[in-house]
Amino acid sequence: MSRIPFIHAAFPDPAFSKAGIEQRLKRHFRHLAARKAGPEDPHPDDDADDRAMKDGITDRIDIPWRAAHRIARRAEAISACANRASPLTRLKPEDRKRLEVLRKGVVLVALPSEHRADEIAAALHAEMPWMAPATNRIWQDLQQSVQRGEPGTHILPQLLDGPPGIGKSHLARLLAELIGVPGLTLEATVENASFGLVGSQRGWGNAAPGRMINLILAELVGNPVIFVDEIEKAGRADSTKGQCFSLTDSLLPLLEPTSAAAWSCPYFEIGFDMRWISWILASNDWRSLPQPLLSRCPPIRLERPTVQHLKGFARHQGAKRGLSEDSIEAICEALDQAAARGYVPDLRTVLRMLDHAERMERRPPLQ
């Protein structure tokens, strides 16, 4: 893992804090007072001051109120002048404290070799073979990331288009797990404006940073996998001043590596390096999406899984969960019976069946 600078702002120097400067000025005042009160040293040096401080001589000297007041004002002026160049100084103290964790940058998780990229692609395909058009793209991106020697693993933005319940969100979660990075799922039908993802500007009553920056601040990993579901159902919010806040519009600068490298947070009003995020968007019908979004991530069409696909997924997931062979075969038999009646369940139904079987096997025995 490598570490990169994440925030485009210089942090205030702790040495120039008001408290630190005030402490140094008071110490200097006591040294001057001690020299004035005692016999004058013809060759004053710093070692003499250090010895006096160790002996506790200067600490016993009281500073008059007027002098202390002047020192406090001088320290405040010096600190404000020294830290004026940092945009962080205009933030609230609680916001500055939150961003303090970025002083040493963030970590980027990278794959050790092309072989590991092959293993991830093979694991994705083994569990979800009907998602082959998407997993092939992911495989190519992972390999290129390793070949280029990039500090962090990421894939190019993808738009997975297909019927609901075929496993688009499951693929994104599994990819994040296999790479070893945090994951975030955003439902566009619930958070249809841009506020939930990127945050809201100061001045709004509920102004706050978005879930994207909150995730990185919490995990300190700069290349998470972010999944946005049903992107075509995202709406827009209009302010009383005529401003439009659309989720699709807010994604455009984040999907371009150049603009994402210096993305400006609406809440903090500071630039952050977001170019290492892996974006996976999902839609049920891409035709209603705006052209600027489609030009950044052309849709990858996916089809429904067959009954054989679902049975293979049930066996693969059942073995991973440690389910008994009887439970797995019962799920496969239920899928065959549903298909015989002309109904093919979706992946969500299979996951619920697996969850139910796991609860049944893990429940405590009845007395």
Residue 18, pLDDT > 80, answer no
In a domain, 3, yes or no: no
Q: Which of 196-205, 288-297, 316-325 has the lowest mean pLDDT?
A: 196-205
Task: At 330, list the tokens.
Answer: 């019962």
Alpha carbon distance 42, 300 (integer Å)? 83
Average pLDDT over residues 207-234: 91
Same domain, 152 and 288: yes
On whether residue 216 sits in a domain, the answer given is yes
* Residues 140 and 283 placed together within one structural domain of the fold: yes
Q: pLDDT value at position 42?
A: 45
Q: Is the pLDDT of residue 236 over 80?
A: no
Answer yes or no: do 161 and 285 share one domain.
Answer: yes
Domain assignment of residue 1, yes or no: no
Please give the single-letter amino acid code of residue 235: G
* Residue 221 · residue 265 · CB < 8 Å: no
Query: 20 or 271, which is more confident?
Result: 271
Q: Is the pLDDT of residue 356 over 90?
A: yes
pLDDT digits (tens, 9 = 90+) for 123-140: 999 999 999 999 999 999
141-151 pLDDT per residue, tens:
999 999 999 99
What's the Rg (C-alpha) of the chain?
A: 30
Residue 367 lies in a domain: no
Last residue of a domain, one of 59, 91, 123: 91
pLDDT at 257 over 50: yes
Same domain, 116 and 262: yes
- pLDDT value, residue 191: 66
The residue out of 37, 57, 91 marking a domain boundary is 91
Q: Are 166 and 179 in contact (CB under 8 A)?
A: no
Strand partners for 7: 272
What's the pLDDT tens digit per position in 176-189? 999 999 999 998 88
**Over 80: is that where the pLDDT of 262 sits?**
yes
Q: Would the pLDDT of 365 be above 90?
A: no
Give the SS3 label for residue 184.
strand
| Residue finishing a domain among 33, 62, 91 | 91
283 shares a domain with 195: yes
Element (H, E) at 281: strand 278-283
Residues 196 and 53 in one domain: no
Considering the domain architecture, whether residues 330 and 297 belong to the same structural domain is answered as no
**DSSP letters along 24-52, please?**
HHHHHHHHHHHHHHSPPPSS--HHHHHHH
Pairwise CA distance, residues 1 & 36, whole Å: 57
Share of the chain above pLDDT 70, in %: 84
What local confidence, expressed as pLDDT, does residue 15 receive?
66
Q: What is the C-alpha separation between 93 and 20, in angstroms, rounded?
A: 17
268 and 338 co-located in one domain: no
Measured between alpha carbons, how far is 22 from 161 in angstroms, rounded to an integer? 61
DSSP annotation string for 203-258: TBTT--B-HHHHHHHHH-BS--EEEEE-GGG--EEE-TTS-EEEHHHHHHHHHSHH
Domain range for 171 is 107-301
State the DSSP H helix or E strand holding residue 327, giving kind and residue range, or none if neither.
helix 325-340
The answer to whether residues 64 and 122 belong to one domain is: no
Indicate whether 244 and 266 sit together in one domain. Answer: yes
Residues 205, 351 share a domain: no
Q: Are residues 242 and 263 in the same domain?
A: yes
CATH no. for residue 144? 3.40.50.300
Please state the domain count of the chain. 3
Give 40-98 pLDDT, tens digit per residue: 444 445 555 555 444 455 556 778 888 888 888 887 777 677 666 667 777 788 888 88
Q: For residue 51, is it within any domain?
A: yes
Question: Where does the pLDDT of residue 243 fall: very low under 50, low under 70, confident under 90, or very high at 90 and above?
Answer: low
